[in-house]
Homo-oligomer: A and B are copies of this chain.
Amino acid sequence: MRPHGGIAVPISVKNFKLTLEYDGTGFCGWQVQKKGVSVQGLLQNALKRITGEKIHVIGSGRTDAGVHALGQIAHFKTSRGFSPEKIQSALNGLLPDAVAVKSVEEAPLEFHAQLSAKSKLYAYLILNGPIPSAFLRPFSWQIKNPLDWDAVHRALELFVGEHDFKSFQSAGTIVKSTVRKIYCVGVQERYRDHPNLYAIQIEANGFLKQMVRNIIGTVVQVGQGRLTVEEIKKIFAAKDRRKAGPAAPAKGLFLVEVRY
């Protein structure tokens, strides 16, 4: 009889937490798809080569095709006795240049990249000016005419708090509830000293499908004078995706950090 009647877990099973950075430009997104190269698929293939085991890598959440990550978190379990350092250096050796493993830590067995997450922080970069940037083009949305950034900020403030974000959810994923809580929003001007670069940051306890991109697309319309701050309230009340603005392009979006 096993002590405490518990399920036998081989003593050697370890749970590893990965912190990942990726340039999403060439990927079909985080999740394995029938077509295209996914970050999850690349990790699973590399870990199979390293461990000899078929390993399932679980991310904190999906990122869409073209979305980048500075701090995506994932976990996987293995019964091989590798050290975190060994896994990190083997992964960085096998993964393509567009994915970097920033850290590997051994985590408690109950740690789950998605279910244990308390909040996520996303940033969206907007290059607001007529002159393009050769280096920022894959990583920002260029909007040539000047936005009214005070109006953008006032619109963003309306999203803070617990709301039903049904109007800001794209179709395609079934969820139990469309209520989420946004903890804070912010706009950083002259991001990284670039005169026309703006970073919009949104932290929430969770995000619906394309929720950040739909919010950004909507507040940009406010900044362009095409929607009023008052109309945002009506969009919330409508609970209808068609009332909100179009999704902002994926390439400007970064998953910055997942907090546990």
Contact = CB atoms under 8 A, between A and B. Distances in A.
Interface of A: 21-23, 68, 88-89, 92, 97-103, 130-135, 137-139, 192
Contacts of A98: 134, 137
Nearest to A21: B134
Contact of A134 (B97, B132, B133): B97
B130 A22 contact: no
A21 B102 contact: no
A171 to B, nearest CB: 30
* Closest 5 pairs between A and B when the two form their complex, measured CB to CB: A100-B134, A100-B132, A21-B134, A97-B137, A23-B134
A218 B178 CA distance: 59
Contact of A92 (B89, B99, B102, B131): B131
Given A89-B130, A97-B134, A100-B131, 9 more contacts: A21-B135, A22-B134, A23-B135, A92-B132, A98-B134, A100-B132, A100-B133, A103-B131, A192-B192
Nearest to A93: B132
A72 to B, nearest CB: 10
**Which residue, A89, A101, A102, A132, has most C-beta atoms of chain B within 10 A?**
A132
Contacts of A132: 92, 97, 100
